[in-house]
Structure 1
Amino acid sequence: MRKVLLKFIDFFYPPFSGLLSLHTFRYIVSGGTNAASGIVLYFLIYNYVLHQKDVYIPFKPGMITAHVATLIIETPLTFLIGFMLNKYVVFTQSELKGRIQMFRYALVVGANLMLNYGMIKIMVESFDFYPTISKIITTVVLAVASYFIQTHFSFKVKK
């Protein structure tokens, strides 16, 4: 499966070879796939699972707004997709053990989740952005930062 994915991704690389390294191109494609999956999942969960309605918590008085509940549901799914793509497609040269990679990746995703939460909450509740548009903006901003963090921390390669 990995070889098939790499052949498919690498097939589209030649036009970009003057602009990006193969590693960066693979990260963009893998990250773009994960980001697109997250946005599609977010849209589907928000509109068709939660029907844009807040989630009431019976065991604790209160509620979780629909856009935040959607983020909570979508995150574990994109975590798994993202980790697998990063480990087996992008950062194949890393000699760190898989459990260490996953732990570090989880730390980055956790930080991104908090930033995602804050940015989406501000955009939706303060600026009246549509939740899916807020998710797209947040994803782009955090993807750029994540590339550097994943490269130098989660999937670090010894020199």
Structure 2
Amino acid sequence: MRDKILAFIDFFYPVMRRVMPLQTFRYAVCGGANVLLDLFLFFISFHYVFDKSILDLGFVVIKPYNAALLLAFVVTFPTGFLMSKYIVWTSSSLTGRVQLFRYSLLVMTNFFLNYVLMKFFVEFCGLFPTISKIFTIFIVVFYSYLSQKYFTFKEKK
């Protein structure tokens, strides 16, 4: 499966060869696919699963955009790690366990950034949640790329 995914992604690389290195292209494709999945799950769960209504669990009340954020996170965490480990950062010298731990730290940071930025854009700027999510994605993706390249899946020089 990995080889088929790599062959598919690498088939389109010649068009981008002058713009970015192969690893960055793979990150953009895999990360982009995971972001689209995240955005799709967020949109569907916000509008249809939680129906834009507050979720009352009895012991805690969750705003619908936060519930949608959590649902999307539960799905995109494992897909993001697997694509990063087996497609993008394949030459990392770290063990899988260390990568998973570091990826978990990065994702927790990203989740916190998502929460804070969503709160800022929705509650303070008055933007619609889906538009806020798109702005948030752009900010978090930049941070995530640098963190994965230089920390989570670091290569020995």
Question: In structure 1, which of residues 88, 93, 96 is the aligned counterpart of residue 94 of structure 2?
Answer: 96
Correspondences of 1:73-84 after superposition (within 5 Å): 73-84=71-82
- Tell me the distance in 2 between the aligned counterparts of 1:6 and 1:75: 24
Shift of 1:76: 1.7
Corresponding residue of 2:131: 133
Q: For residue 65 of structure 1, report the CA deviation from its aligned partner.
A: 0.6
Quick one: which amino acid aligns to residue 103 of structure 1? F
Equivalent position of 2:108 in the other structure: 110
The CA distance in 2 between the partners of 1:81 and 1:41, in whole Å, is: 13
How far residue 57 of structure 1 moved from its aligned partner, in angstroms, is 2.2
**In the aligned structure 2, how far is the partner of 1:110 from the partner of 1:56?**
24
Determine the C-alpha separation between the residues in 1 that align with 2:135 and 2:39. 10
Determine the structure 1 residue equivalent to 2:22. 22
Q: What is the rounded CA distance, in whole Å, between the counterparts of 2:70 and 2:19 in structure 1?
A: 36
- What is the Cα deviation at residue 54 of structure 1? 0.7
1:45 is the counterpart of 2:12? no
Amino acid at match of 2:47: N
**Percent of pairs identical after alignment?**
42
5+ long unaligned stretches in structure 2: none
d(CA) in 2 for partners of 1:44, 1:6: 29
Give the AA of the match of 2:93: E
- How far apart, CA to CA, are the structure 1 residues paired with 2:96 and 2:48? 35
TM-score by length of 2: 0.97
Shift of 1:5: 0.4
Corresponding letter in the other structure for 2:17: S
Letter of the 1:77 partner, please give it.
Answer: V
Q: State the Cα distance separating 1:132 from its structure 2 match.
A: 1.0
Provide structure 1 residue ranges, at least 5 long, that are not aligned to the other structure: none
> How many angstroms does 1:46 deviate by?
0.6
User: What's the RMSD between the two structures over aligned residues?
Assistant: 0.9
Could you tell me which amino acid in structure 2 is paired with residue 33 of structure 1?
A
Q: CA offsets, 1:112-136, max 9 Å, x none?
A: 1011001101111122211111111
Q: Distance in 1 between matches of 2:97 and 2:132?
A: 32
Distance 2:132 2:15 in 1: 31
Residue of structure 2 in register with 1:36 after alignment? 36
